[in-house]
Amino acid sequence: MTPSTDRKRFTVPIGPQHPALKEPGHFAFDVDGEIVQSASVRLGYAHRGIEKATESRTWVQNLYLLERICGICSHIHATAYCLGVEKLAEVEVPPRAQAIRSLVAELERIHSHLLWLGVAAHEAGFDTLFMYSWRDRETVMDILEALTGNRVHYSANVLGGVKYDVDDKQAATIREGLDFLEERTLHYLEVVTTDGLFLQRTRGIGVMNRDEAEQSGVIGPTGRASGVHRDVRIDSPYTAYAEHPILPVYESTGDLLARFIVRLREQLASFEYIRMLLDHLPNSPLTTRMPRRVKEGEAISRVEAPRGELFYFIKSNGGDMPERIHVRTPTLCNIASVAQLVIGQHLADVPMILVGIDPCFSCNDRTSVISQDGQRDLWTWDRLRQYGINHYGTHYSKDIHR
């Protein structure tokens, strides 16, 4: 960070601790007056070592560890892991279980998008919309609790199937909840597209056209708002999406408003999809036998998380623990676009643009050490600790003792 007395560069730091960010991440914006001139992103404040931890846990235990990568899109992490492990073990999951996986995933998408709507409204200073959207989100949380027993970290998945069935009573509860949520979502769609003051903060802000989006590799709703036709549920269907395709949602304007519209319309698509799934739930057992040791090999599994494509690489050496698991969360693909989008924008719009990609920093923090000579590089606890002390010591001591 540069001292504030430097006339040429006035840097506004956002994070790692800042009210706009619900998780730690660091952004430095060089501003001229209120206009952002350049931006830099720094991640890695919430690295939790989950990938390494998976290597010392059994396949079953890892399911719950990986589910906890993200508190919002937890089910989809577990689904991605299950699909990959089942592929490796060559296990066929019963169709009813696949349908229920899709069902919970879509419910989760609704809850994630409603949460995002609230956060984005809060960043714009529209706290009333924030309060209302989170109040209505309780409906879908209650549905998830009734279905699986938990509000978050539903643990609906199990290797080889799902734990919980949907009976008629629950189907009725879900339908009732969906009707209410559909009415509310349509209302919020009207609010974000017609409210004059809110439009002033979203229309034409943070515009990313299709070429830019393709170039920076943006995925998920952020990409679909810019007209990037990419959705894993359609391009490479998994669970129930192969048999029952979901309606994709695309916008082309690529501004913040489009990101609002895409997410809200995706919710509407999810309502339709869940109703259809409830009508066509196949009859079959919920689980199938799963071996404790998984055959040697490598598998890749891709799913569409609420924030975009989620990628899992799983490698087994034939034992009861994985040899390597790599996770790439959607935020990693999207976060770099923020540094480009904010240039030329007002400082006041920066938090909204940042939140527009629906970032999730803790899910996304990874460490990669690339050694050019091909040698194995072992980082012991002591070495990591010393690295931290040196890094922060040299980095911040200047700033503190000016």
Partner 1 sequence: MKLGTLFKDALHALFSRAATEPYPNPQPNETERLRGRLMWAPEGCTGCNLCVKDCPANAIDLFVLDKKAKQFVMRYDVGRCTFCGQCMQSCRFECWHAANDDWSLAGTTVDGFTYYYGEEDDVERVLAEPVEEHPVKV
Partner 2 sequence: MTELLQVLVTMLFFPAGLFLLANAMFYQWIDRKLVARLQDRVGPPWYQPLADTVKLLANEEVLPFGVNKWLFIGLPIIGLAGALTTALYLPIAGLPPAYGFPGDLIVTVYMLSMLTLCLGLAGANTRDRFSMVGATRTLTQLFSYEAPFLLALLGPALAAGSWQLSDIMAYASGNWLLLTQPIGFVVVIIGLMGKLEITPFDAPEAETEIVAGALTEYSGRGLALFRLGQWVELVIGLTMIAAFYLGGIHNPLDYVIKTLFPLLIIAGLQTLMTRLRIDQTVGMWWRYGALLALVQWLLIFLMGGGQ
Of 362-391, binders to partner 1 (CB under 8 A) are none
Residue 191 contact among partner 1, partner 2, none, beta carbon within 5 to 8 Å by kind = partner 1
Encoded tokens for 66: 């990986």
Exposed, middle or buried, 391 (CB in 10 Å: 0-12/13-18/19+)? exposed
Exposed, middle or buried, 1 (CB in 10 Å: 0-12/13-18/19+)? exposed
Residue 11 contact among partner 1, partner 2, none, beta carbon within 5 to 8 Å by kind = partner 2
**Per CB under 8 A, which region of 8-16, 155-163, 271-279, 286-294 contacts partner 2?**
8-16
Residue 148 contact among partner 1, partner 2, none, beta carbon within 5 to 8 Å by kind = partner 1
- Asked if 132 interacts with partner 2 (CB under 8 A), we say yes
Residue 146 contact among partner 2, partner 1, none, beta carbon within 5 to 8 Å by kind = partner 1
By beta-carbon proximity to partner 2, the closer residue of 69 and 192 is 192
Is 41 in contact with 21 (CB distance < 8 Å)? Answer: no
CA 60 to chain centre: 23
Is 1 in contact with 11 (CB distance < 8 Å)? Answer: yes
Amino acid occupying residue 402 = R
The closest alpha carbon to 89, from 230, 293, 265, belongs to 293
By beta-carbon proximity to partner 1, the closer residue of 66 and 88 is 66
Residue for token pair 């999809």: 273
Q: How far apart are CA 364 and CA 53, in angstroms?
A: 16
Of 21, 31, 63, 335, the one binding partner 1 by CB under 8 A: 63
- Asked if 293 interacts with partner 1 (CB under 8 A), we say no
**Per CB under 8 A, which region of 15-23, 74-82, 101-109, 225-233 contacts partner 2?**
15-23
Is 331 in contact with 357 (CB distance < 8 Å)? Answer: yes
E strands, 287-339, are 297-305, 308-316, 322-328
Residue 125 contact among partner 2, partner 1, none, beta carbon within 5 to 8 Å by kind = partner 2
By beta-carbon proximity to partner 2, the closer residue of 131 and 242 is 131
The closest alpha carbon to 94, from 301, 281, 313, 295, belongs to 281
Is 356 in contact with 375 (CB distance < 8 Å)? Answer: no
Residue for token pair 């949380």: 141
Amino acid occupying residue 12 = V
- Asked if 148 interacts with partner 1 (CB under 8 A), we say yes
Rounded to a whole number of angstroms, the minimum distance from the CB of residue 149 to partner 1 is 4
Q: How far apart are CA 260 and CA 40, in angstroms?
A: 25
Query: What x/- string results for residues 99 through 128 when contact with partner 2 is judged by CB under 8 A?
Result: ----------------------xxxxxxxx
Is 43 in contact with 364 (CB distance < 8 Å)? Answer: yes
Rounded to a whole number of angstroms, the minimum distance from the CB of residue 205 to partner 2 is 10
Residue 348 contact among partner 2, partner 1, none, beta carbon within 5 to 8 Å by kind = partner 2
Encoded tokens for 10: 């006035």
By beta-carbon proximity to partner 2, the closer residue of 336 and 347 is 347
Q: Which residues form the interface with partner 2 (CB under 8 A)?
A: 4-5, 10-13, 18-20, 31, 34, 121-128, 131-132, 135, 195, 197-198, 200-201, 346-351, 402
Q: Which residues form the interface with partner 1 (CB under 8 A)?
A: 56-58, 60-65, 67-68, 128-129, 132, 135, 138, 142, 145-150, 153, 155, 158, 163-164, 187, 190-191, 194-197, 199
